[in-house]
Structure 1
Amino acid sequence: MIIKWLAVNILTILAIIIWSQIQGYQSNNIFLGKVIAQVAFVFFLINLNMYFVFLMIRKSKIRDVKIKLARISKKMMKFHVPLAITATTLIICHAVIMFYAQSDLLNYKTVTGVFLFGVLSILLFSGILRRKKATGKRRKFHYTMAFLFFGLILLHIFI
């Protein structure tokens, strides 16, 4: 199961890199913006994988696996907020570079990017609420927003 999970992550990242190369870029600024966005995506993917680690802890019937994953998750959680802040900073840099580099600001990439920034704001706010007081409803809303954001990012990249 873990091998499949890692394979999907690696294939997703490779697909994004290959797609970016196929699409090309008009200037060095656009290339830089794409590279920054890809790094931000990797950080976001690492954070999103926290959900799967916790899911595997809950679903596993093997005690040793649960203990090993619990240790991994304890280490990963220390980096959850710093990775989120770094990814958000990189996304803002990506947006600024792309706004600067694009001449047509009413294309679908720009519109979906602006919408995604709104979804990211809600995701970050839900994370702040969850950090203040962890309830089941806030946890579910936070990971629902994370998966919505992930799906919309894939649309933003591949359309």
Structure 2
Amino acid sequence: MAPLRRLLLLLLLVLAVLLLPPPAAPAPAPVRRPDWAACRILSRELSRLLAAVKEPPSALDGMQLLEEPQNWPPRIRCSDACDPLALETNNTRCLHRIRQALQHYRDLLGSDIFRDQPQPQLETTMEQLLRHVQEGHGRAPRHHLPPTQVWQHQLHRHLALRRLRSFAAVIGRVFNHSAR
């Protein structure tokens, strides 16, 4: 009778194991999101600082480069999903593009075209904003951009600041929407 009892206990154990629900899968690591409120404040500060940058009277306003430099910052495009509807569902692509552009503008501000007109406050604010947007992505290395001809510095600086102002307006909208 003892072997029958063991067999019955073994059978009950097997049934219990088969009928128990499987153990819950471990919860995925939480995705770290940027501090939207801090990003909104910093993007406003970036816009304020850009408005305060003094440039010589602009004979350069109508000038365009025939060919854009290879080291020019990326632009936010419609396909980057930075519009309010896309931000509600998935902001990964938009944040990636913002991070990429912030890194590039940071590197551009540290390049030779700003050597004779450095913008330390602008660089600091951009670095702080980049740190907030980098959440969970590690620290972005600085890239040294190839030098440009001295005679090109003023035009490149003017165009870079104009594009940076436009970029700051776009990210200001993104961060303002996301911080709500």
Shorter chain as normaliser: what TM range? 0.3 to 0.5
Q: TM-score, normalised by structure 2?
A: 0.32
- Greater fraction of residues in helix: 1
